[in-house]
A and B are shown apart, each in its own frame.
Chain A
Amino acid sequence: MSSFATILHKDLRLELRGGQSTITLNILSLLILTVLTFALDAPSRSSLLAAGALWVAMIFAGLAGATQAMVSEWENECIRCLLLSPADRGAIYAAKLVASFIFMTVAQITSLFLMVFFFDLNFDMRIVRLAPVLMMGAMGFASLTTLLAAIQAQIKTGELLLPLLTVPVFIPALISGVKATQAALAGLPFAGFAQWLKILGACDLLFLAGGYLLFEQVVSED
């Protein structure tokens, strides 16, 4: 477990130093939510639209964040040294995943507040009930993008590849996430959207298992 902690610590330190991804992610979320408010004609108190906007912000900010997190690893081919080191491949994947999960969560908290302001909602228990939904969404998204961003990082002309790869695969999680968010914002209890949480959980498990098992195939050299 120690190599996991070492890599995670390094990623968090890099982040605190440059602050690139978190700040970029937050500003990007703000931007996306602003654009959506205009595009949807400033809909007041519409929890349906708010839920959608929140997930759009999460996906696009998350894509940008995942790209940056992997770029740092490929810049001087540090990833090769990680592979040569005694660190287990699974530990490398897990560390990158947890780092990007943390950055996404930070950005999500910002977008959540922005959403409440922009869409004129109230801070109450409904927002709290959103927490597990958003956490699970971020978990699935981070585990998927950590795998796929490693693919993108190797392709020189592939800046736009990550959204192409990620979004279709993420669709089931997106559907269930948006549905669960809408239900939570509408004030339903957990039981009311349990089926969506189950699907979201299934997606998380699938992406996690896929990422964990296939990460080595993606990062190793021919």
Chain B
Amino acid sequence: MNTAQLEARQVSKIFGVLPVLRCIDLRVNRGEGALIVGRNGSGKSTLMRILAGLSRPSSGQALLFGEPAHSLGPQQRCRISLVSHRSFLYPRLTARENLEFYARLYRVTDYQYVVEKLLDRVGLGSFADEPVFAFSRGMEQRLTIARSMMTEPEVLVMDEPFAALDAEGIDIAAELVRDALQRGCAVVMTAHDPHQLRHLAFISYSLENGRLVMAHFGSDSEGRKPRPAAAG
């Protein structure tokens, strides 16, 4: 079995005339994690959207389970989950209603139990019946992560999942990601600060000038950040 869960082959994306991504190659197998680090505007979000199948590459291929990501059938779409920089939550629905809506859409069996458990897990149990518009940015992000985990996806594409989270929130989220990895989920994630992820064994890449290069900044090799994250 040689097909990776998630694969990018020579993916390029051009917006108008600006090349945002150039010939990106990436493979993530079951139970593996890939971390992509880059500055703001480096094209991380674009890459995430392409990998999740929302957007089409200008050239090259993004594959999920060996099939083109943007034309997956409903069965396959059930197996992926995306955390985007937009929350995908309906502000006027409560936390629980949002999760239940997506759970039913994804045909999660026994969804009430799953939702309840996840809300407790991300520490929103006591806010379950509050509307999302009353949430702080960090609470919204916790809920977003809960939403992405609800379906027990086999591929998890996360764009800046730790943005706006406090230390506790990051720990919770990282734990959820670790559980997903152990389940055999393939995770690809972006971050502007790799140190938030030091306790996750991820293969690290950095996205610079639209190109993906291997990078080393795990817990052992501190400080080899490609560029300061604050720029741009």
A-B contact count (CB 8 A): 72
B92 touches A14 (CB 8 A): yes
The listed residue (B82, B92, B97, B104) touching A84 by CB distance below 8 A is B82
Q: Which residues of B contact A85 (CB under 8 A)?
A: 77-78, 102, 105-106
Interface string of A83-95 (1 = CB under 8 A from B): 1111110000000
A86 touches B105 (CB 8 A): yes
Bound state CA distance, A76 and B77, in angstroms? 20
Bound state CA distance, A49 and B95, in angstroms? 48
A77 touches B84 (CB 8 A): yes
Binds B, one of A1-9, A27-35, A185-193: A1-9
B89 touches A76 (CB 8 A): yes
A82 sits at the interface (CB 8 A): yes
How would you classify the secondary structure of chain A's contact residues: helix, strand, loop or mixed?
A: helix
Bound state CA distance, A75 and B91, in angstroms? 8
Bound state CA distance, A72 and B91, in angstroms? 8
Binds A, one of B48-56, B121-129, B164-172, B222-230: B48-56
B54 touches A80 (CB 8 A): yes
By CB atoms of chain B within 10 A, which of A13, A78, A83 has the most? A78
B77 touches A72 (CB 8 A): no
Bound state CA distance, A214 and B91, in angstroms? 28
What number of A residues sit within 8 Å (CB to CB) of B? 25
Bound state CA distance, A80 and B159, in angstroms? 14
A18 sits at the interface (CB 8 A): yes
Interface string of B2-21 (1 = CB under 8 A from A): 00000000000000000000
B93 touches A10 (CB 8 A): yes
Which residues of A in the span 33-70 have a Cβ within 8 Å of any Cβ on B? none
Q: Which residues of A contact B97 (CB under 8 A)?
A: 10, 13
Contacts A6-B105, A7-B105: A76 and B86 contacting too (C-beta < 8 A)? yes
A156 sits at the interface (CB 8 A): no
A72 touches B54 (CB 8 A): no
B91 touches A17 (CB 8 A): no
What number of B residues sit within 8 Å (CB to CB) of A? 29
> Please, which residue of chain A has its CB at the minimum distance from the CB of B79?
A86
B88 touches A80 (CB 8 A): yes
B89 touches A84 (CB 8 A): no
A58 to chain B, nearest CB (A): 26
Contacts A81-B88, A86-B105, A221-B49: A17 and B93 contacting too (C-beta < 8 A)? yes
A222 sits at the interface (CB 8 A): yes
Bound state CA distance, A13 and B131, in angstroms? 13
Contacts A84-B77, A88-B74: A13 and B106 contacting too (C-beta < 8 A)? no
The listed residue (B49, B87, B89, B93) touching A13 by CB distance below 8 A is B93
A77 touches B88 (CB 8 A): yes
Q: Which residues of A contact B54 (CB under 8 A)?
A: 80, 83-84, 221
- Show the binding face of A for B, using Cβ within 8 Å: 2-3, 6-7, 10, 13-14, 17-18, 72, 75-78, 80-88, 221-222
A-B pairs with beta carbons under 8 Å apart, 17 shown: A2-B107, A3-B105, A6-B101, A10-B101, A18-B92, A72-B92, A76-B89, A76-B90, A78-B89, A80-B86, A80-B88, A81-B88, A81-B102, A85-B77, A85-B105, A86-B75, A86-B106
The 3 A-B residue pairs whose C-beta atoms are closest, nearest first, are A86-B74, A81-B88, A77-B86
Other contacts beyond A6-B104, A76-B90: 9, CB < 8 A = A2-B107, A14-B92, A17-B92, A77-B86, A84-B54, A86-B78, A87-B105, A221-B54, A221-B56
